Structure 1
Amino acid sequence: MTLEVEVPDFGSGEHEPAERDLSVPAPEGEEPKNDDRPGKPRKRRRWLFWSVMVLLAVLAVAVLTPLTVGWRVWYQARQDETPRSDAIVVLGAAQYNGVPSPTLRWRLEHAVTLYRKGVAPAIVTVGGKMPGDNYTEADTGRNWLIKERGVPADRVVSVPVGNDTLESMQAVGRRFKQLEWDSAVIVTDPWHGLRSKKMAEDNGIRAAASPTRSGPSVQTRDTQFNYIVRETGGYLSYVLFGRSVRSPSELRPSVTPR
């Protein structure tokens, strides 16, 4: 009988290394030989995924917030809110040596219409004056209502403070507290309604808005679009930073009409 025995080959001096159990830590000073463990790629993919999600969320907020506010400006401009109130507040606009500008006159005319309909028993005119002016916007409006439209003097309150909407609304809020009033219908340009209401409410006034439907701010679609864009920025500036941006109607044209 012949026995065949397989003898290991020791001549080459090479041995296949045995696979190490990865659950056992490598000896001190020895680097792990397998860097392709599944944990690292998975963590990298997870980090990339959440980075993309955060970026998309930021972009969505940056895009959708102005669009939403712009829609609210547009929507508010189309509302005509005339609840029974303590007063009709006419926001200021340019005046020329005691004569209302076309924008201010349209607002005053609209306020007279609301007053005669019984929306409120009083009209409040608002606005200070520019350097070098002899008259304030508020006093110009009050005088015009009394002299040109026959509104009783004791029914018109002048608040001659402010060169922008925020300053004016703060002054109106203080005056309302003195008179123990708390509600108002604000008369201004259509696109200015949302920001005006917000500022009034922040100064303790339950506010509605009844905009004018005539004047420079509603002449063309391009004009309307520009006003909406500007008021969107103005509203965000106020809500986010507490700052007031002057509307175009609050800016004095370089040429005084004759």
Structure 2
Amino acid sequence: MLKKSWRSYLLTLFLLVLAVVEIPIIAAGQTTKPAPADTIIVLGAKLIGREPSTMLRLRLEEAVRLYEANYAPSIIVSGGKGWDEEISEAAAMKAFLVRHGVPESAVYIEEQSKNTFQNLAFSQAVMRERNLSNAIIVSNASHIRRALALASQLQLPATGAPAPMADNLYLTTKQYVREGAAMVSLLFIEPK
């Protein structure tokens, strides 16, 4: 009898977490739309050697699409060098964008950040230096809700442009679970 009630408790808890945390993350990734802005901020992600990982490539492709559609005249690429990376994420991102037709002069680099909060805070500093007042934040669909929540905390005027998720069920599930935990942590830990 105890086992059955314990299972019911866990199932209820799981469904509650799903409803309160994961559904808004999934919804934001499907419904968030960008508005024209002064710049596009592309949040960094893992590199493979000197090249963007699948998730980062999808973000960069979305940034190119927005740039070519005249949503913004510039792009800020944001991401430092991880311990297992040969170059900074921002350097690899800029190289990708230039190879895909974005003029080098339209791409600004922020390469000190180590997490999403720093991506946005340090990109906001680049915006201030260049007199840019609002942005479109580009990240994958699973990440856009948290990115916009952090932008709001920083009082960074921004809309979001969710890039697609990888065509890989394991990776996509892992990313949504990770974002759920990260959103919950925002309730208890001040970002820095």
- Tell me the TM-score normalized by structure 1: 0.63
- Partner of 1:115, secondary structure, is helix
- CA drift at 1:66: 6.4
Out of 221, 236, 252, the position equivalent to 2:184 is 236
1:82/1:210 contact within 8 Å kept: yes
1:88 aligns with 2:40: yes
Give the residue type in structure 2 aligned to 1:115.
Answer: Y
2:141 to 171, 176, 190: 190
Q: Aligned Cα RMSD in Å? A: 2.5
| Match of residue 52 from structure 2 | 100
Q: 1:85 to 1:63 in 2, by over 3 A?
A: same
More relative contact order, 1 or 2 (CA 8 Å, 6+ apart): 2
Aligned ranges 1:1-258 → 2 under 5 Å: 64=16, 67-131=19-83, 133-146=85-98, 148-215=99-166, 218-220=167-169, 223-243=171-191
- Secondary structure at 1:88 match in 2: strand
Q: Structure 1 residues 77, 66: CA separation in 2 closer, same or farther (over 3 Å shift)?
A: same
Q: C-alpha offsets along residues 81-136 of structure 1, whole Å, 9 cap, x if unaligned?
A: 12011111111112234322222222111110110001111111110002364410
Amino acid at match of 1:188: S
The structure richer in strand per residue is: 2
Runs of 4+ in 1 over 4 A off after TM superposition: 60-66
Q: Deviations over 1:35-71 (max 9, x none)?
A: xxxxxxxxxxxxxxxxxxxxxxxxx999857632322
**Aligned counterparts of 2:19 and 2:162: Cα–Cα separation in 1:** 22
User: Cα distance 1:107–1:240, how it changes in 2: closer, same or farther (>3 A)?
Assistant: same
Verify the 8 A CA contact 2:142 2:165 in the aligned structure 1. no
Q: Structure 1 CA distance, aligned partners of 2:149 and 2:76? A: 18
In structure 2, C-alpha distance between the alignment counterparts of 1:180 and 1:201, rounded to whole Å: 19
C-alpha change, 1:239 and 1:154, in structure 2 (3 Å) is farther
Contact 2:58/2:140 (<8 A) preserved: no
Ranges in structure 1 where 5+ consecutive residues have no aligned partner? 1-59, 245-258
CA contact 2:66–2:72 (8 Å) conserved in 1? yes
Give the TM-score normalised by the residue count of structure 2.
0.83
CA contact (8 A) 1:95 1:101 kept: yes
**AA at the equivalent of 2:39:** A
Deviation at 1:164, TM superposition (A): 1.4
